[in-house]
Amino acid sequence: MAIKFTIPLMPPSTNHYVQHKAQGVHVKTAETKAFERDFPLFSRGGFVTGEQFSILFQFFPGPGDKGDVDNRNKCLLDCIAKAGMLRDRKGKELSDAWVKRLVVEIHDSAEERRTGPRTVVQIEALVWQ
């Protein structure tokens, strides 16, 4: 079983994920809180059942958007886990520690940037042969 959905924006980068208020104190930014709040609207309560998971992130930056291949994954993985999208066969929600394959693609040709920003997420149960 697999789930695929599109988010019509890019998640916050790790540079905008938290603010460092004081020594050792990290507070999520307003941008991160807004993305986490709205994420369930896009995932629509879906979940995948399995023991291990494979996730594909396809990022389509908009004009002027930046980001390295590893810069936007944390927020998405946290949102997936918090939304209960990863579950074992008994229905127990699992953390993103059960993700054993993560594929990240950035589609940033001139044409793709004109259609962005957007993020496509695909989650499936991983079955090792």
pLDDT tens-place string over residues 24-48:
666 778 888 899 999 999 999 999 9
Q: Which helix (H) or strand (E) holds 32?
A: helix 30-43
What's the confidence (pLDDT) of residue 115?
87
What's the confidence (pLDDT) of residue 58?
96
CATH architecture of 2-125: 2-Layer Sandwich (3.30)
The tens-digit pLDDT sequence of the chain (129 residues) is 799 999 999 998 865 555 556 676 667 788 888 999 999 999 999 999 999 999 999 999 998 887 677 778 989 999 999 999 999 999 999 999 999 999 999 998 888 888 889 999 999 999 876
The first and second tokens of residue 35, run together, are: 């993305």
What's the confidence (pLDDT) of residue 71?
78
Provide the residue ranges of all domains of the chain, joining segments of one domain with +: 2-125
pTM of the model: 0.88
What is the Cα–Cα distance from 62 to 118, expressed in whole angstroms?
Answer: 8
What's the confidence (pLDDT) of residue 27?
72
Eight-state DSSP code of residue 113: H
What is the Cα–Cα distance from 26 to 21, expressed in whole angstroms?
Answer: 6
